Amino acid sequence: MGEKIATRAAYGKAIVALAEEYPELVVLDADLASATMTNGFMKAYPDRFFDMGIAECNMVGVAAGLATCGKKPFVNTFAMFAAGRAFEQVRNSVAYPHLNVKIVGSHGGLSVGEDGATHQCCEDFATMRSIPGMVVCCPCDGNEMAAAVKALLDYEGPAYLRMCRLATEVFTDTVPGYKFELGKGVTLREGKEVTVIAVGLMVGRAMQAAEMLAGEGIDVRVIDMHTVKPLDTELVIKAARETGCIVTTEEHNVIGGLGEAVCACVSENCPVPVVRHGVEDTFGRSGKAEEVLTHYGLTAEGIAEKVREAVRRKNG
């Protein structure tokens, strides 16, 4: 087993590690520094850290102003508030003028656990994808998060970065030839019979499912689609043509997220069966993170069931 670290913790380390290389980097938070893991940056660079209090909409507006002055603002709060409460400011103050602001949503998905349905944001991919020109990224482990932060600092324009509260195993650093690039998915495992396209927390579970299914004689390709927008359509079409069916898996509503992005791409370019796996258009509930994920079927076995369904559809 590799090291376990929450992507929010990896993010906190990355912004501190990159601060000297990027003196324009400034960090804004909404009274959640110990939860979003920006407290390390706050201590190391207090003159570049701005606690805006519980005023997320105002925080986004301030970040937009800083961007017009040549700064690289990273705005931090829970995903529910970043993609929900402050949606209008993200759309109108950041995306419409195409400003260089990064919106960072921590505690995305059901794995927020005990905080319950009001804080378990499973709609953020959908809302952020709908904004013109907005990049949407959700790394799967600590290694990928560090690479994503560096890439976003180099990217000029608005972007949404989703982070997870739950500690997960770091594994991408052991994948031969692994390379992170915004807008480009990564094939983590080759397979000829079916492709699983996963994002965030579900990537590791997709790898587990592929191992399980190999024992049943099902050869599964696994793609880490860390950038939900812009989608790596070339990689999706290649998978559709070569494996003949696709399963998408995400810690997000099956409406509006990765699954729908992949379905649109496949239907327009290479129609094959696509089975979506995720939160089935419902709200979450309070409980220990793993128990909540299991209740909603966001497990390796849950993915495996969808893979079996996709293969059945493919074979008629």
How many CB atoms are closer than 10 A to CB 71? 17
Share of the chain above pLDDT 70, in %: 100
Running DSSP on this structure, what letter comes out for residue 84? I
Listed in sequence order, the residues at least 6 apart from 268 whose beta carbon sits closer than 8 Å to its beta carbon are: none
The average confidence (pLDDT) of the chain is 97
Largest CA-CA distance found in the chain, in angstroms, rounded: 62
Number of structural domains found in the chain: 2
Query: Are 153 and 261 contained in the same domain?
Result: no
3-state secondary structure of 246: strand
Flag whether 131 is in a domain.
yes
- 103 alpha carbon, distance to own chain's centre: 12
Q: Quick one: tokens of 130?
A: 């709908």
Cβ 125 vs Cβ 162: under 8 Å: yes
Flag whether 113 is in a domain.
yes
pLDDT of residue 2: 73
Listed in sequence order, the residues at least 6 apart from 266 whose beta carbon sits closer than 8 Å to its beta carbon are: 236, 237, 240, 246, 272, 274
Query: Are 64 and 109 contained in the same domain?
Result: yes
Q: Quick one: tokens of 80?
A: 């529910």
Quick: pLDDT tens for 152-178: 999 999 999 999 999 999 999 999 999
Q: Please give the Cα distance from 201 to 179 (Å, whole number).
A: 18
Please say which residue of 169, 195, 226 terminates a domain. Answer: 169
Query: Are 13 and 158 contained in the same domain?
Result: yes
Cβ 184 vs Cβ 131: under 8 Å: no
Please say which residue of 122, 143, 169 terminates a domain. Answer: 169
Beta-bridge partners for 275: 247
Q: Please give the Cα distance from 52 to 306 (Å, whole number).
A: 44
What pairing do the DSSP bridges indicate for beta strands 186-189 and 159-162? Answer: unpaired
Flag whether 39 is in a domain.
yes
Query: Are 150 and 239 contained in the same domain?
Result: no
Quick: pLDDT tens for 181-240: 999 999 999 999 999 999 999 999 999 999 999 999 999 999 999 999 999 999 999 999
Q: Which domain holds residue 112?
A: 4-169
Please say which residue of 169, 204, 230 terminates a domain. Answer: 169
Query: Are 256 and 108 contained in the same domain?
Result: no
56 is catalytic: yes
Query: Are 310 and 223 contained in the same domain?
Result: yes
Flag whether 177 is in a domain.
no
H-helix or E-strand spanning residue 149: helix 142-154
Query: Are 190 and 144 contained in the same domain?
Result: no
Query: Are 153 and 187 contained in the same domain?
Result: no
Quick: pLDDT tens for 10-44: 999 999 999 999 999 999 999 999 999 999 999 99
Listed in sequence order, the residues at least 6 apart from 291 whose beta carbon sits closer than 8 Å to its beta carbon are: none
Q: Please give the Cα distance from 71 to 53 (Å, whole number).
A: 20
Q: What is the CATH number of the domain that holds 133?
A: 3.40.50.970
Quick: pLDDT tens for 49-71: 999 999 999 999 999 999 999 99
99 pLDDT tier (thresholds 50, 70, 90) = very high
- Catalytic pick among 3, 21, 56, 260: 56
Cβ 7 vs Cβ 164: under 8 Å: yes
Model confidence pTM above 0.75:
yes
Query: Are 11 and 80 contained in the same domain?
Result: yes
Q: Please give the Cα distance from 244 to 285 (Å, whole number).
A: 36
